[in-house]
A and B are shown apart, each in its own frame.
Chain A
């Protein structure tokens, strides 16, 4: 299947700093990318949907100024957690699709804010 690479897999940052997570589709052009967040022992919750070249659509309750999503090319989307706080500590997962294909997932990023 297609490969989606997410980087970094783990990151620890200090409270108040910003962290960028990258999601790359390695062997296909991703017209749509999704960002999910997973709390321990809970479902993956959709944060936002981004289409290449346009602004991301955020789910209700997700602060767009805190979670900045950029999908500038067909192979790269980034999620930047700005002014991170301990409550932002979580597991973040991206997925990418091309047209009507199935979703391909990255391996996830474990963010810990100390």
Chain B
């Protein structure tokens, strides 16, 4: 079955440091890939997504590129802020009809950014 593996946390960085959170996946078809963020006390929010190979999703300074050859979707940000402290989830959904299909999640990576 489908699976998502992401690096364990917590990841602790100083403000303005470069961030990478690794994510690799296993899927039988051609999945859509997502990064979700969960701030303390809130629900998961979609951060960015990519629906086909070589697509780059970006939002709020975060980027991730859908790499089919390495089955990866690593999350990056050039300069993190304290407000980026949250738990980040990598996820996939099989096929394009994403509204009707559940997501397969990674275990989440907690990011702590220190001033």
Q: A41-B107, A43-B4, A44-B89 are in contact. Are A101 and B99 (CB under 8 A)?
A: yes
Q: What residues of chain A lie closer than 8 Å to B98, measured between beta carbons?
A: 97, 100, 102-103
| Total A-B Cβ pairs within 8 A | 60
A105 with B102: CB separation less than 8 A: no
Q: A102-B46, A102-B49, A105-B45 are in contact. Are A43 and B100 (CB under 8 A)?
A: no
Residues of chain B at interface, number, CB under 8 A:
21
Q: What residues of chain A lie closer than 8 Å to B42, measured between beta carbons?
A: 107
B103 CB-CB contact with A under 8 Å: yes
Majority secondary structure, B binding face? mixed
B44 CB-CB contact with A under 8 Å: yes
B105 CB-CB contact with A under 8 Å: yes
Q: Mark A89-114, 1 if CB is under 8 A from B, else 0.
A: 00001010111111111111000000
Q: Could you say which interface size class chain A belongs to?
A: 20 to 34
B43 with A1: CB separation less than 8 A: no
Q: A1-B45, A93-B43, A102-B49 are in contact. Are A43 and B97 (CB under 8 A)?
A: no
Partner of A4, one of B43, B99, B106: B43
A98 with B99: CB separation less than 8 A: yes
B41 CB-CB contact with A under 8 Å: yes
B103 with A100: CB separation less than 8 A: no
Q: Spell out A's residues near B (CB within 8 Å).
A: 1, 4, 6, 9, 31-32, 34, 36, 41-44, 46, 49, 93, 95, 97-108
7 closest pairs, A vs B, by CB?
A100-B99, A105-B44, A105-B43, A107-B43, A97-B99, A44-B105, A46-B102
Q: Spell out B's residues near A (CB within 8 Å).
A: 4, 36, 41-46, 49, 89, 97-100, 102-108
10 A-B contacts (beta carbon < 8 Å): A1-B46, A4-B43, A31-B99, A43-B108, A93-B44, A95-B103, A102-B49, A102-B98, A103-B98, A107-B42
